[in-house]
Structure 1
């Protein structure tokens, strides 16, 4: 009567496992077979050991239709024969041999099948526990223990079966397939993932694991594509916003400079012109002093205006760079396009190019100790400015240095700035701004 109750309890336990894994038929079907085997054992004592064949199949196949290693397949066949044939089931040595072979066959199967690290400990523990549960009663029979021990052996065997069922549930609730671990670890590694998936089904085994792996790969690929598209949209929006801010800054600077010239400089100039040229005595000295102060104020305002919008840009970018080279403290060899044939460059781009050129000349003189400098400007659909010096090289991007400022100016108008400055080999700066022309 105790054996029947234990059999019914274990049948219920394996039925719960089958229901919990119903979305994975390769696990649910062997678990249901185990439940039926234990139910048959409660009704028909001859079927008491039938469940062991289904248990070994479940443990060695690992949720697949059939094991891949010949050792695991052979062990399942032998276990089925021993469990079903009463004469063989009564031989303890047969079960001891099967118990000893189970961990070895499980290890051989793992070498043929990739199992995710989150599931491997549960499967391994279940195989060793099943080997112990099968081998211990056979060993006790060989030792001819008293019949009083039979109930304890039965309860121990039932507890081992319940623990195995729990471990199977734990493995089923882990990551669905080893390909998921691979994709998460390597990120956007679609080629490796696809090769791994093809190899996992190379033998034609279209099982649930392979289908889950392909579905996981598709979900991961779609998620990565969505995130890449969202990131590209954010980058594009940021670049457009930076370009609009640079254009607005250039317009405001130009308007403020014009206002200074019209309102302040011109009025002061007219005030200076209206003063008498010469007077005698102290009045004449005071007047001359006031005239000099007014002229100083005019020069300071004019310098302020040039800082807001470089005055040479009024005549175009090429003329501005030529005047910049003429006033440089070291010789500057220029390669510039013809001013008349130059396509119209956007104001904010021309301003950024001018400032980058001015900063590059200043850095070459101040830091690189250069003696000569070459500047080349190309204007097509975009603008390319290259500046080379023969200085000491070794320039680096300090967070608040001149190179960082040049890079920010290039980035603000949608461009890039490349630096090549090997120690002892001079410095090369290349500023590239695509789509720099004015659109009609």
Structure 2
């Protein structure tokens, strides 16, 4: 039996271990850090050998194939040693796709991919398709292929997951947009990050589709010197497109992919804001390609609830609206958030900077932001960037302190927005932990 080693004992690693075992591999899982007890119990229940707190190289460097969890960089010493021995190192997405005949829809992009993935799943599920959802969201793709029998999957795919594909090809691929993110993982070379996103289409054929943002400059620049075999379907909020989707008169979305226009008033879409109109366009194009009934599409667009930690309205406390946008871990995400603010805003920002250029949002900050609360271990870059732009800037060492300071700045009819532009790992376990602490702190204002 082929020997499969899995590096990383999180959702993707444990799911791959279960699928690998089911497919007849000899499986060993190794995590340099501690594995959560919940995952350890799953591994024990399936009699899958594992280790944590370090790597036993003699067990790893004899592998025939290695699945690397997306959080492990290629620069990790164990990965370098595997490359030196020419042992294939792939992602969960690649491994799982070789053991599944189900059609996939792959959605990537710097911003909007979670919302687009969730909305697409909502529309397809309500439209009667036997559809799973995975990738960078929910239960792992591998675990679902091992334990369920979905006819199709919609997968949220990060650049890290796409770095580890070899032959994977989604039937429908989406690149929502591209802006600088995770540059620390790409040697601070934006071109490498852009190329990683476009790996989603590298194996597609003439029978497949690539949906892309016609307004996005990095995407347009990539197409000037690169090609794909997939059928191209653009979407735009700035201009009319002949075949694809566009925003008409700021009031309706027009979808034309089969010579018959589907027109949907933006008032009839639960997700508001121009960035969400783009997310909706992607999802509607997908479900139209998969022949979902128009009546189902219209009703489902009205009932969709957005993703947690993405412009999530938490509470209105004494006339001040609190919004949790903890998933905004880059400047481009913050741009969308600030652009959607309709009232003076107190902005909670900060964390682990990933190479941000704050000039991209400077004009929006001048227009929308009345005060800033910096929430990070090192806030120097933020203070240097905005110290001469916003009159009131405060620092906070924890979320309760940040919310208290923001409340002190905010007045009736205004907004407090947590939209950090940074990774969370200096003060929090994850962006989810950061968002939940924000919501808890806001709840505490009522007590």
Answer yes or no: same fold by TM over 0.5.
no
Higher relative contact order at CA 8 Å, sep ≥6: structure 1 or structure 2?
2
Larger Rg: 1
- From the two aligned structures, give the one with the greater strand fraction: 2
Provide the TM-score with structure 2 as the length reference.
0.17
- From the two aligned structures, give the one with the greater helix fraction: 1
Provide the TM-score with structure 1 as the length reference.
0.18
